[in-house]
Amino acid sequence: MRFGVVRFPGTCDDFDAQEAAARVGDAELLWHGDKDLRGVDAVIVPGGFSYGDYLRVGAIARFAPVMEEVVEFARAGGPVLGICNGFQVLCEAGLLPGALLPNTGRRFLFRQVDLVVERGDTMFTSQSGGTGTTLSIPVKHTSGRFYAPETDLDAMEAGGQVLLRYAPGQNPNGSLRDIAGVTNEAGNVFGLMPHPEHAVDPLTGSTDGLTIFASMAAGVGAHV
Amino acid sequence: MSEQTVPGVEQAVALGLTRDEYALVIEKLGGREPNEVELAMFSLLWSEHCAYKHSKKLLRTLPTEGPAVFMGPGENAGAVLVGDGGLVCAFKVESHNHPSAVEPFQGAATGVGGILRDIFALGARPIAILDALRFGEPSSERSRYLLDRAVAGIGHYGNSIGVPTIGGEVYFEAPYETNCLVNAMALGLADRSKMIRSAATGVGNPVVLFGASTGRDGIGGASVLASAELGEADDDKRPTVQVGDPFEEKKLLECSLELLEKGLLVSLQDLGAAGLTSSASEMASKGEVGIDIDVAAVPLREADMEPFEIMVSESQERMLCICTPDRVDEVIAITDKWEVHGTVIGSVTDTRAMRIFRGDELVGEMPVEALVDDCPIYDLAPEKPSVPLYPAPAATLAAGTDARRTLLALLASPNVASRLPLFEQYDPVVQSRTVRRPNECDAAVLQLPDGSGLAASIDCNGRRVASDPYRGTIEAALECAANLACAGAKPLGTTNNLNFGNPEKPEIAWQLTEAVRGLGEACRALEAPIVGGNVSLYNQGLDGPIYPTPVVGMVGELPDVTKAGRLGFLREGDAWGLAGWNAMPSLEASELAKLRGEALPDGLPDFDVEHVLKTQEAIRDAVRSGDLSSAHDVAEGGFLVALAECCLAGGIGARFDDGNALADDRSGRPVPDEILFGERPGGFIVSGPREALERLADHTPLDIFGTVGGDALDVAVGDTSFAVPLAELHAAWDGGLRPFFP
């Protein structure tokens, strides 16, 4: 099982994501300028401020050469995980529904929050402890308010695309329906605002985030 | 040299030189007057900010050597050996006070950017930021504006570049109303063998500039802003504040580290205050060589810039490096990969002169030594002020308020209230080293690859330094070491930022002299030598000088990071006690005295430094052994506030079982406020199994007072008895600063 972690200029959590993935498989960095995924089994688009987040968060990164390959990989059913800025990039690239707007508080916010697993039977949550489990994972962002039109939200809910919700009373950014993480319709592309790569070691926080990487490894392992 | 107009002495004075200094410049130039380029360069390098002309003699008295010191003062930052050998921690604190007072967002942001460049200029990856902030009382609209924008600026830069902000401190006092302080400290980690110095060597080697292009921003920052008092109409100075771009710096950082990783560089230096002028001159000075620079080769943002403007521009996010001629192509290729395009702008010479060309035309020529080393150094004329320098703080708490309400008022007061509303605006976890986040431990703790830990703290209580510059500064250094002890760490080295008023005034000179005397003594006693730092003078506005604020930053190490201490109570049923104090604390210059509007005392009570050190050692050893559940040092607000902080951080209550031991033989009589709210170095609240506390009592005075548990702080000391539910404590503490960040 090999993870590829995309590195744009301005990516900050690339090494963190690489180290987290390396706890459950092999992990290497993919350079934004290379149109080559080097045959990895899963792609992670990590957090940070790709291209400085100028213009609009994630708006420039989607045009990076590597993103053409990521889009093709995703359309072919390959597992893709977008964390924070990576979630924003995947939305901009049209791989995920909805958009991420500035927090209602209009400030950058770091906070350890509780998330409720809405579906424990997916390739991103199979190792999370099951539906209804609470995961403690930090958020850190300025633009994390998940938004989509009501009809789209209804469709996402009906299609089982909402995998993570902020626990009651802990929505840090004003996301609609407390949504913290969603998949595409096919279920192979997952974006979330919380940072699971910062919850993989009891020494530095919790280990609840590791379950997401472990789920991906288990899913790919089952396919291979 | 080409024909050029001579600006003359009046222009020199306008740029900050004295008439005597101007005469000396003429002498150093062999009798001729400096032209425009030369005057611009001399006025910057001979400014207080660059030349330390009022502090250099004092700084020479500080201890700078010790077994852990790898790089002392003089380089871009200091560095100490850490871990099991092979690794080095570089660290330094620097101020950006006047830029922040004029334009707080960019001033604070570029303060962070500048200190980070100092760290990676050594070849170290920046791994943490801490900051020390000072504002006027938050009741003032201006202070709230400065606070809001400075915090946003720090967060903007640190969060965007991917360096965690792991700690810091903030105080609110009226004397900072017009002259706020923004000090930023950065830590970096490097492979010892990959570190690089800034000395230029190798005659004929090319000088390469990379990073952002050069514009007119920040011209005169070091001389106009940093080396003079703030006054009216400072809005005019806003163009002298630089604008930061953390994305550009992130690329610059990764590029610099890749250049060093591949072993392509001879030397590396960042461009900070005074831009190219200072960077190139210092590289030449350290390497005992000369440097030629062609300003026509410098990539510009604006086409029509004059040579002097190019030489003194403080445009951010630029680096200067020197490599051998055969490596130039590789160097340029890597800078292109990171889109921080490198350009050869000059070369190393054997002339011992800085020569500035525009194409073929020589537009300035100065001996390096004259520029860098020959600035006159001034003796201070210290004199202890005969009348108080600072008015008494405004009273906000009536005398005679009972202990319960006093405790809640202190917890809600700006200097004690929760810092989380600030810290939530910073990313403390990026890079995955953070073992103790803000408010989990008195010091921030990072893990190193070998399983050991690095702890860092920054502190200074300006009001106490204003009351007694000598003892107040010792207290600041001891406070940092106490924070480290609570983490289980022993100090390795110290950095400092001396923020003072106008040193040409005798009373400020006295504050500075006394503070440096205290700092030197404390760092010797702690065996925590000064490895680098910064001086920021002329911090005064129309309403007088700031409190003297010698900010102390300290880095320490603990052998096993899994044993890092915590400040919050942890376990129901643990015993808790007060360790360390061997004498009654005092209300003088305390937080409570401030709330009551009491004037600053003339001098702080004496205390036994050796005893404090022994206590710190005992606490450190107990934390390292894993014996204790928590350790927290008693600081602003005194004993009861510290106890409440342990409850708040742990989310668990505490009660007194034997409070009369605290009231001593006064049992049954009124308990003096000194016991509950007095301040004095060397006190700690500890918790753990009773036997663990009893073992600690073998090494330092310790009274076990009660038991951890419940959902209230239940106080019973002598005749004072009251309970405060945790929720009420939390509402007071959390509500102190949160309204200022709506």
Interface contact A110-B156, CB threshold 8 A: no
Q: Which pLDDT value is given to residue B663? A: 56
Residue B144: phi and psi, rounded to 5, are: -65, -40
Q: Are A146 and A98 in contact (CB under 8 A)?
A: yes
Which whole-number Å values give the CA distances from B195 to B128, B202, B429, B571, in the listed order? Answer: 18, 18, 25, 45
B216-231 core/surface letters (b: 16 or more CB in 10 A; e: else): bbbbbbbbbbbbbbbe
Q: Which pLDDT value is given to residue B2? A: 64
Token code pair at residue A66:
């590597």
Q: Which pLDDT value is given to residue B271? A: 92
Contacts of B161 (CB under 8 A, 6+ apart): A12, B113, B116, B126, B246, B247, B249, B250, B253
Asked if A141 is an active-site residue, the reply is no
Q: Which pLDDT value is given to residue A57? A: 74
Q: Are A41 and A224 in contact (CB under 8 A)?
A: yes
Which of B362, B343, B341, B342 lies closest to B292 in space, CA to CA?
Answer: B362
Token code pair at residue A118:
């809405």
Nearest CA in chain A to B430: A13
- ipTM passes above 0.90: yes
Interface contact B429-A53, CB threshold 8 A: no
Q: Is residue B302 pLDDT above 80, yes or no?
A: yes
Q: Is residue B665 pLDDT above 50, yes or no?
A: no
Amino acid at B710: G
By Cβ distance, the residue of B152, B162, B435 closest to A48 is B162
Contacts of B425 in chain A (CB under 8 A): 107-110
Contacts of A13 in chain B (CB under 8 A): 162, 430
CA distance A37 to chain B (A): 19
Quote the mean pLDDT of chain B.
93
Q: Is the dihedral of CA A23, A28, A31, A36 positive or negative?
A: negative
Q: Which pLDDT value is given to residue B74? A: 83
Contacts of B315 (CB under 8 A, 6+ apart): B212, B213, B214, B215, B217, B218, B242, B271, B275, B301
Q: Is residue B242 pLDDT above 80, yes or no?
A: no
Which whole-number Å values give the CA distances from A11 to A30, A82, A89, A90, B251, in the listed order? Answer: 12, 12, 12, 14, 10
Q: Are B200 and B348 in contact (CB under 8 A)?
A: yes
By Cβ distance, the residue of B159, B338, B561 closest to A203 is B561
Q: Which pLDDT value is given to residue B83? A: 85
Q: Is the dihedral of CA B610, B594, B678, B686 positive or negative?
A: negative
Please compute the mean of the pLDDT values over residues B546-565 and round it to a whole number.
98
For B451, how many CA atoms within 13 A lie in the half-sphere containing its CB?
4
Q: Are B198 and B286 in contact (CB under 8 A)?
A: yes
CA distance B602 to chain A (A): 43
Which has more confidence, A61 or B405? B405
List the Cα angle B118/B121/B126 in 5-degree steps. Answer: 65
Q: Which pLDDT value is given to residue A164? A: 98
pLDDT tens digits, one per residue of A75-94 = 999 999 999 999 999 999 99
For B459, other C-beta atoms within 10 Å of its C-beta total 26
Q: DSSP string covering chain A, please?
A: -EEEEEE-TTB-SHHHHHHHHHTTSEEEEEETT----TT-SEEEE--B-GGGG-SSTTTTGGGSHHHHHHHHHHHTT--EEEETHHHHHHHHTTSSSSEEEPPTT-S-EEEEEEEEES-SSSTTTTTTTSTT-EEEEEEEESS-EEE--HHHHHHHHHTT-EEEEEPTT--SS--GGGEEEEE-TTS-EEEESS-GGGSS-TTTS-STTHHHHHHHHHHHHHH-
The SS3 assignment for B523 reads: helix
Tokens 């929505």 sit on residue? A171
Please report, rounded to a whole number, the percentage of residues in chain B having pLDDT higher than 70.
95
Contacts of B156 in chain A (CB under 8 A): 108
Q: DSSP string covering B333-402, please?
A: HHHHHTT---EEEEEEESSSEEEEEETTEEEEEEEHHHHHT-S----------SS-SSPPPPP-S-TT--
Q: Are B268 and B321 in contact (CB under 8 A)?
A: yes
Q: Is residue A224 pLDDT above 50, yes or no?
A: no
CA distance A168 to chain B (A): 19
Query: By a Cβ cutoff of 8 Å, what residues of chain A touch chain B?
Result: 9-13, 15-16, 19-20, 48-49, 51-54, 107-111, 138, 140, 195, 197-198, 201, 203-205
Q: Is residue B232 pLDDT above 60, yes or no?
A: no
Q: Are A117 and A132 in contact (CB under 8 A)?
A: yes
The SS3 assignment for B321 reads: strand
Please compute the mean of the pLDDT values over residues B60-89 and round it to a whole number.
91
Q: Which pLDDT value is given to residue B666? A: 46
Where helices occur in B64-219 by DSSP H, the ranges are 97-102, 104-120, 141-161
Q: Which pLDDT value is given to residue B85? A: 72
Cα of first residue to Cα of last residue in chain B, in angstroms, is 60
Q: Is residue B326 pLDDT above 60, yes or no?
A: yes
Token code pair at residue A152:
């789209």
Please compute the mean of the pLDDT values over residues B600-620 and round it to a whole number.
97
Grade residue B581 by pLDDT with cuts at 50, 70 and 90.
very high
Contacts of B113 in chain A (CB under 8 A): none
Please report, rounded to a whole number, the percentage of residues in chain B having pLDDT higher than 90.
86
Q: Which pLDDT value is given to residue B671? A: 80
Residue B147: phi and psi, rounded to 5, are: -60, -50
Spatial distance between the Cα atoms of B577 and B568, rounded to a whole number of angstroms: 13
Q: What is the pTM of this model?
A: 0.94
Please compute the mean of the pLDDT values over residues B701-711 and round it to a whole number.
96
Contacts of B155 in chain A (CB under 8 A): 108
Q: Which pLDDT value is given to residue A50? A: 81
Please compute the mean of the pLDDT values over residues A155-164 and round it to a whole number.
97
Catalytic, out of A32, A141, A195, A198: A195
